[in-house]
Each structure stands twice: as C-alpha cells, then as structure tokens.
C-alpha cells in the first residue's frame, strides 16, 4: 500500500517552515498523523509577506526543502502552500435564488445559484484578487434562519445565504506559487494561513463556543474568528512584532539587535530600565489588540466569544501579552497550545501553519502524490467547507 504523505510550506517574513507528515496506524488501529521531517530556513526576498525578490524566496525554500528531505529520506516533490501576508482579506456577500424544483425541495443546484449570485455582487472588488475559500456562514429559507446545518432537502420558495469570501491579491499568490515551483515543488493546493493554523491550535469546543485565534508574526497579525464551529472572519493587519523592536530601539536610542534581545528578555542590566521597556511593549501590543477589537465590533462579536482569544506566533511571547489582550478585548486570553501527535519534538506554535496544512492534505480521499497542480482545487474547497458543517 502506498504511503499517505502530505507536505506543508509556510513562507513567513522571517522564516520558511516545511513539515512532512505521514498517516500511520496507531496501537488501536486508528489512523493518526506522524511528523517525519521538518525544514527551516531564513526568509529572504519578502516584505510584509509580499514577494519582492522571487529568486531570493526560492533559495530560502530550497534551503528548507533540503533539510526536510534529509530528515524524510526522500525528495519533496509536492506540497500544500499557506497564503498569508498583508494582502489576505475577506469579502462578505449575500446570494439569493428562487428554488428551482417544482416540489420546492432545496438542492445543490440552488446552493450553487446563491454562491454565483453572491459572487456577482462583489465582482468589482475581485479585480486583481483570487478567491481562496468560500464559506457559507448563514442560511435563510423564506426569510427564516436555518439552524443546525444546510437547508439541503428542506422545502421552500426562496433561499438566501450569507458568504465570506477569503481573498488575496492575485499577483501575491502567483509570486508565492512561482517561488515554490522554482524550488522544484508542485503546489497541490493553497490555504489561508490563519485557517491552516486553526487546525492544530484550536479545539472543536473552542470553535463551537466562539473564539479568535491571533497569530502575531514579524510584520503582520492575522486572525480567524470562529463561532458555532464556523470561521466567520479572516483578517490580516499590517503590524507585527518587529514594530515592538522598532519602538524599543527608538525609545531607548539603541541598535535594533539590542532592542530585539531586550524584547525577547535575552538582555538585561541596570542600563536598560525594565519598567520603560515593559511600557513600550505594552503600548504596541495594546495598539494591535485595539485593531482586533474594532474588527470584532464590525462583525458583531465584540465581547461575545466565550472561548476568548488564543495567541500564537513568534510575537506571542512578548511581555505580559495575555494580560494585555484580556484587558484590551474584555475576553479570556491565553497562549495557544500546539496539539501534536506523541513523540514529536516540535513544541513551538510558529510551526502550526505548516503542520496544519499537512493535516488538511491528509483528510482528502485521493492520493496526494497523484494530484496535479491545482487539479483538486474544487474538491478541496468543498472538503474545506464541509468540515465546518454538521
């Protein structure tokens, strides 16, 4: 029997991470993932997640790929790719249709019609953008909310569906895919990085009760908001942990390398006033959480997420971040825990996106090794949406 293996690639502003995962059978016979190799390299050629030098990005990917291949013992030829960066955004639209069948039963054809209608309403905003995911977040049949699943099989005359379209700049996605292909890796499919990270940083219970996952990267902060198990919102902000480093450097008039070590708590002494450093860090983190709070207000979830906020990424260790988040958002706050299979050396949540991609890849019914580039896009998008439905 062929081995079922999936590879995930997370191209961040500071680091490129590659995770290779294999599906194995546990002691009880149940299928479970096992990380068999990882690759890590310094990122070059990126700014705020945008590709500014494709050749440099490809060289970084090649360096991480070689490390992963040494650990795996075989070449990495295909992978699932995370799409992040400042271009990631969402569009909201509602699509309506009259039920087509004479007996008024809702079918997949009606659901497809509502999606097409929603796309038409946002068509001007999709110029130069690619749709990564289409997520239905609410259904209404003849004006009444449909609770507990889709309206498929129900009867009515008019169907209305609210959608979230997760999008990114076409040029940005094409540049990332091109850099991966330059590293001689075929891109099987793409996923928004906040959603990939949520696969391993949030539990089903947290998603059902309502929570926000915030990944604090070097130059961006990404969030995904869940409620009733559905990702209601995906958003990216152009601010990150390097902003804290810059603030410390300016506030204390010191070199950036010293400021970075102070931020990480690796440099101390009487010449560096700890109280002032903490105030600088707290001020920048408060600004980050204010952006998140404003967005939660826009989508109607401010103060209404019982599972609170989970913090991840390289900037999640800055200062007393959980206390600041709790105060700024009036929500429970904690550092996100990376849920990993036994005997795994990874313990850093910065690997969540790459690992989450591999789990997504392994959930498909088809053999990943045989998929052509983008050939399974429609199938995987449908599979992605189905995981949020009862």
Cα–Cα distance measured from residue 204 to residue 337, given in angstroms and rounded to the nearest whole number: 14
> Could you say which of 294, 309, 335 is where a domain stops?
335
Q: Please identify which residue in the block is written with the tokens 């569009």.
A: 91
Q: Quick one: pLDDT at residue 384?
A: 45
Same-domain status, 82 and 93: no
pLDDT single digits (tens) 278-311: 899 999 999 999 999 999 999 999 999 999 999 9
Same-domain status, 211 and 111: no
Number of folded domains that form the chain? 3
Same-domain status, 177 and 161: no
Same-domain status, 45 and 182: yes
Long-range pairs of 285-289 with CB within 8 A, sequence gap ≥ 24: 285/244, 285/318, 285/319, 285/321, 285/324, 285/325, 285/328, 286/324, 286/328, 287/239, 288/216, 288/221, 288/237, 288/239, 289/324, 289/325, 289/328, 289/329
Q: What is the mean pLDDT of residues 337-346?
A: 74
Residue 236: give its domain's CATH number.
Answer: 3.30.420.40
Q: Quick one: pLDDT at residue 75?
A: 95
Same-domain status, 14 and 154: no
Same-domain status, 232 and 176: no
Same-domain status, 299 and 157: no
**Does residue 201 register a pLDDT over 50?**
yes
Same-domain status, 42 and 189: yes
Cα–Cα distance measured from residue 290 to residue 328, given in angstroms and rounded to the nearest whole number: 7
Same-domain status, 215 and 242: yes
Same-domain status, 115 and 162: yes
**Does residue 23 register a pLDDT over 50?**
yes
Same-domain status, 347 and 360: yes
Q: Quick one: pLDDT at residue 371?
A: 31
Range of the domain at 308: 203-335
181: exposed, middle or buried (Cβ count in 10 Å: 0-12, 13-18, 19+): middle
> Could you say which of 335, 350, 367 is where a domain stops?
335
pLDDT band for position 190 (50/70/90)? very high
Cα–Cα distance measured from residue 133 to residue 298, given in angstroms and rounded to the nearest whole number: 21
Q: Quick one: pLDDT at residue 367?
A: 26
Q: Quick one: pLDDT at residue 356?
A: 93
pLDDT band for position 342 (50/70/90)? low
Q: What is the mean pLDDT of residues 138-156?
A: 91
DSSP-based three-state secondary structure for 298: helix
Same-domain status, 210 and 280: yes
**Percent share of the chain, pLDDT over 90:** 67
Give strand pairing partners of 21: 6, 35
pLDDT band for position 231 (50/70/90)? very high
Q: Where is 270: in which H helix or E strand? A: none
């Amino acid at each position: 029997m062929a081995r079922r293996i999936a590879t995930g690639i997370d191209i961040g502003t500071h680091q490129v991470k590659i995770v290779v995962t294999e599906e194995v059978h546990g002691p009880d016979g149940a299928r479970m993932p096992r990380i068999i190799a990882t690759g890590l390299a310094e990122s070059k050629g990126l700014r705020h997640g945008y590709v500014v030098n494709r050749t440099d990005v490809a060289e970084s990917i090649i360096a991480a790929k070689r490390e992963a291949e040494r650990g795996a013992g075989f070449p990495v030829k295909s992978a699932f790719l995370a799409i992040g960066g400042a271009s990631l955004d969402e569009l909201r639209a509602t699509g309506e249709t009259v039920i087509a069948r004479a007996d008024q039963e809702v079918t997949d054809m009606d659901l497809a019609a509502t999606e097409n209608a929603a796309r038409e309403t946002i068509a001007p905003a999709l110029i130069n953008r690619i749709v990564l995911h289409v997520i239905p977040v609410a259904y209404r049949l003849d004006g009444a909310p449909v609770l507990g699943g889709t309206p498929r099989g129900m009867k009515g005359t008019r169907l209305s569906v609210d959608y979230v379209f997760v999008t990114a700049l076409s040029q940005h996605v094409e540049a990332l895919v091109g850099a991966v292909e330059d590293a001689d890796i075929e891109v099987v499919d793409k996923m928004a990085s906040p959603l990939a990270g949520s696969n391993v940083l949030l539990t089903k219970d947290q998603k059902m009760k309502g929570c926000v996952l915030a990944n604090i990267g070097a130059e961006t902060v990404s969030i995904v908001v869940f409620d009733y198990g559905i990702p209601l919102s995906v958003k990216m902000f152009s601010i990150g942990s390097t902003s804290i480093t810059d603030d410390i450097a300016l506030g204390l008039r010191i070199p950036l390398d010293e400021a970075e070590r102070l931020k990480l708590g690796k440099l101390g002494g009487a010449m560096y006033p700890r109280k002032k450093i903490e105030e600088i860090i707290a001020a920048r983190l408060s600004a980050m959480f204010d952006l998140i709070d404003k967005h939660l207000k826009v989508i109607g979830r401010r103060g209404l997420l019982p599972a609170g906020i989970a913090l991840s990424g390289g900037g999640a260790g800055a200062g007393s971040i959980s206390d600041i988040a709790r105060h700024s958002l009036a929500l429970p706050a904690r550092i996100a825990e990376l849920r990993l299979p036994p005997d795994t050396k990874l313990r850093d949540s910065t690997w969540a996106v790459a690992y989450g991609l591999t789990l997504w890849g392994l959930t498909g019914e088809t053999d990943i090794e045989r998929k052509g580039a983008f050939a399974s896009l429609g199938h995987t998008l449908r599979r992605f949406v189905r995981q949020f439905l009862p």
